[in-house]
Amino acid sequence: MKSIRIASAIVFAVSLAGAVFAQQNKFEGYNIILDVPETQTAAACALRYSPPTTNVTIADLDTSTPMQIRSCAGTGTNVSSVANGQATLRSGSANTYWCFEGEDESYRVSFAGDQYSGPVSYIWRAVPERSESGFYNVRDFGAKGDGMTDDTLAIRSALAFLASRNGGVLKFPEGDYVVGATGSYRPLVIPSGVTIEGISGIHSGASTNNMKRENPSRIRLKGTNRALFRIGECTEAVVLKDIELISDSPVGTYGIEALGAYLSTQSISLERVVFHSFYRGFSVYGLPQTSLNWQVDYVKVKECRFIFNADAGIHTNVRNSNWRVEGSLFINPARTSSRAADSMNFERVGAVLIEDTFGGGFPSALGGTFIKMLDTGPLTVIGSETEAMTESFVYNAEENPLAGDYSYPITFVNSVFGDPIVFKARRTFVSTGSLYGPDTFRADPRVRVYSTGDRFCYDGNILACRGATKENFGNASVMFITGQPSEGQVQGHPTYFGTDVEFGQPVKMPSVPFRSLPRDKGAGSMVFCPDCRRDTEPCQGGGSGAPAMVVNGRWSCL
């Protein structure tokens, strides 16, 4: 009997110890304010902190269990006034770090914010096991993803929790996560080092034979005149991948809004992200009270889809941003008087590379402009194409007299554009191996053109070019162009140099004997005649050689 009692006591003690252990979850964090203001006149980072003296309220989310809150030993955290499902916490260190233990897996923490954010409230979860640390599920913060429940607080809480741990991966399992459906709304702020990851980069309603036509993981914005996500200053290494951002309204809505201010933000990477039915899918701009300099840099957009965004899929108005758009697709709505329906609009940007990117509208509903620019550094477009748009490319549509210079070239390589390409400012344009329609270019004389191996519908054998007329760069100043020979129904254009060519070495003219001087050459054609007599008009043979030029329809020897 004695041995049985001892064994029973051991079992009871182990069970009790297990129960106590299960109830004591550890919670740690900071007085984090995750908010991007718009009215600051000095630096106000997206991630800020309330002072250590701030009182933090801890609220019980599970009233079926007693609220047993206590501070973590050795941290200096002060927990007091545990009553009526609430406790008060105050940080014990200068860096606003706090730590407490409780029996539940999550609590609500609330405290006063700052002049920009107002009151702050999050759902805070326990410190995860080491094997799970760094990878988090948005449902662990209370998100439902059922298409009806407002998941704004859950997602905001998850982002703040990841910020307190210096970043991590936030996974969105299959679901329709609604934000902005209830109460006052502020955009969800993405902090540094955070990756938001869903399941798929396909857009809802895509032309597949799937039984279910929605993206399996999507975040849906309710309401108008608001952004779903926002990125502020002092932010680095933000990644979104394999997820759809979708809006119920195109009125003043943004999928991601990045605000340039006083301190730099850099390294934003989007991979297989869908921006669906917003006013602007991805918008980056500098706050007007700032200098618009050196604010948002190194933005990469890879294999993303921009579907029916009313004003633009991508819009930026901030200097010194380096953009790379690669393997992406733009499907534009029809342009109307109230809807620009552009694919990409770069008002100001440091440098842009667009590669393997396609898009357009529909033949019966033309979209806006594929690439629109006001003023930029170098633009390079490689292996890209658009169709059924009002314009392929427009430079300085606003006709700003200060826009444009010859310092940075706009370069098109191995691309196809049939819709108009319009220049309304001085610029250097370089094109290599691209195909254009017969009347694609509408450029003023300030544009300097350097063309190598392009096709302009001079060849009647080129698709859709039969009967075309010989048009190329409008009124642009052509510095150099490699022309096409006479083929098909349309005569080619010869290779020629522009007026500002300067040769660094002697130029050798082709040598053509007197009796072989060709007929019907245009005025100004020049050769060296090895047996011509000098100062004869028309040229005469029997001399020691002279330069020969066509003047008034005949060869004259100089």
Looking at the fold, whether 73 and 109 belong to one and the same domain comes out as yes
* pLDDT over 60 (residue 467): no
What's the confidence (pLDDT) of residue 84?
Answer: 86
* pLDDT over 60 (residue 459): no
Looking at the fold, whether 143 and 197 belong to one and the same domain comes out as yes
Do 242 and 269 meet the contact criterion of CB atoms below 8 Å apart? Answer: no
CATH number of the domain that 323 lies in? 2.160.20
- For residue 462, being part of any structural domain is answered with no
What's the confidence (pLDDT) of residue 6?
Answer: 47
- For residue 464, being part of any structural domain is answered with no
What's the rounded Cα separation, in Å, for the pair 235 and 158? 17
Residue type for 30, please? Y
Start-to-end Cα distance in the chain? 131
- For residue 348, being part of any structural domain is answered with no
Total number of residues shown for the chain? 558
- For residue 282, being part of any structural domain is answered with yes
Task: Tell me the pLDDT band of 309, cut-offs 50, 70 and 90.
Answer: very high
Domain boundary residue among 331, 355, 384?
Answer: 331
Instruction: Quick: pLDDT tens for 39-81.
Output: 999 999 999 999 999 999 999 998 888 888 999 998 999 999 8
What's the confidence (pLDDT) of residue 484?
Answer: 56
78 Cβ contact partners less than 8 Å away, ≥ 6 residues apart: 71, 89, 90, 92
Looking at the fold, whether 76 and 146 belong to one and the same domain comes out as no
| Mean pLDDT value across residues 149-164 | 97
What's the rounded Cα separation, in Å, for the pair 274 and 199? 12
Q: How far is CA 411 from CA 24, 378, 393, 448, in A?
A: 63, 8, 12, 12
Instruction: Report the predicted TM-score, pTM, of the whole model to 2 decimal places.
Output: 0.87
327 Cβ contact partners less than 8 Å away, ≥ 6 residues apart: 302, 303, 355, 356, 357
Looking at the fold, whether 41 and 76 belong to one and the same domain comes out as yes
Domain boundary residue among 271, 300, 331?
Answer: 331
Looking at the fold, whether 148 and 116 belong to one and the same domain comes out as no
- For residue 218, being part of any structural domain is answered with yes
Looking at the fold, whether 86 and 60 belong to one and the same domain comes out as yes
What's the rounded Cα separation, in Å, for the pair 258 and 229? 8
What's the rounded Cα separation, in Å, for the pair 437 and 440? 5
Looking at the fold, whether 123 and 154 belong to one and the same domain comes out as no
What's the confidence (pLDDT) of residue 496?
Answer: 65
* pLDDT over 70 (residue 462): no
Looking at the fold, whether 108 and 156 belong to one and the same domain comes out as no
Domain boundary residue among 106, 127, 148?
Answer: 127
Instruction: Quick: pLDDT tens for 167-201.
Output: 999 999 999 999 999 888 999 999 999 999 999 99
| Mean pLDDT value across residues 141-169 | 97
Check residue 72 and report its DSSP letter.
Answer: P
What SS3 state is found at 410?
strand
Looking at the fold, whether 97 and 119 belong to one and the same domain comes out as yes
From edge to edge, which strands make up the β-sheet containing 86-90? 78-83, 86-90, 55-59, 106-111, 120-125
What's the confidence (pLDDT) of residue 9?
Answer: 46
Instruction: Quick: pLDDT tens for 310-355.
Output: 999 999 998 777 899 999 999 999 999 999 999 999 998 889 999 9
What's the confidence (pLDDT) of residue 81?
Answer: 82
* pLDDT over 70 (residue 488): no
CB under 8 Å, gap of 24 or more: what pairs does 202-205 form? 202/244, 202/274, 202/305, 203/244, 203/274, 203/276, 203/305, 203/307, 204/244, 204/246, 204/274, 204/276, 205/307
- For residue 360, being part of any structural domain is answered with no
Least confident of 9-23, 393-407, 418-432: 9-23
Looking at the fold, whether 190 and 223 belong to one and the same domain comes out as yes
Paired tokens of 175: 């679901």
Structure-token match 């004259």, residue found: 556
Instruction: Quick: pLDDT tens for 349-368.
Output: 889 999 999 999 999 999 99
- For residue 456, being part of any structural domain is answered with no
What's the confidence (pLDDT) of residue 491?
Answer: 57
What's the rounded Cα separation, in Å, for the pair 529 and 531? 6
What's the confidence (pLDDT) of residue 17?
Answer: 44
- For residue 190, being part of any structural domain is answered with yes
The domain total for the chain is 3
* pLDDT over 80 (residue 118): yes
What is the chain's mean pLDDT, rounded? 89
What's the rounded Cα separation, in Å, for the pair 49 and 163? 11
* pLDDT over 80 (residue 497): no
What's the rounded Cα separation, in Å, for the pair 288 and 322? 20
Provide φ and ψ at 520, rounded to 5°: 65, 30
Do 116 and 40 meet the contact criterion of CB atoms below 8 Å apart? Answer: yes
Domain holding 53, by residue range, is 21-127
Structure-token match 């809505």, residue found: 253
What's the confidence (pLDDT) of residue 23?
Answer: 56
What's the confidence (pLDDT) of residue 555?
Answer: 96
Instruction: Quick: pLDDT tens for 369-409.
Output: 999 999 888 999 999 999 999 999 999 999 999 888 888 99
Task: Give the β-pairing of 175-179 and 194-197.
Answer: unpaired
| Mean pLDDT value across residues 119-127 | 96
Looking at the fold, whether 239 and 161 belong to one and the same domain comes out as yes
Task: Tell me the pLDDT band of 4, cut-offs 50, 70 and 90.
Answer: very low
Paired tokens of 254: 């943004």
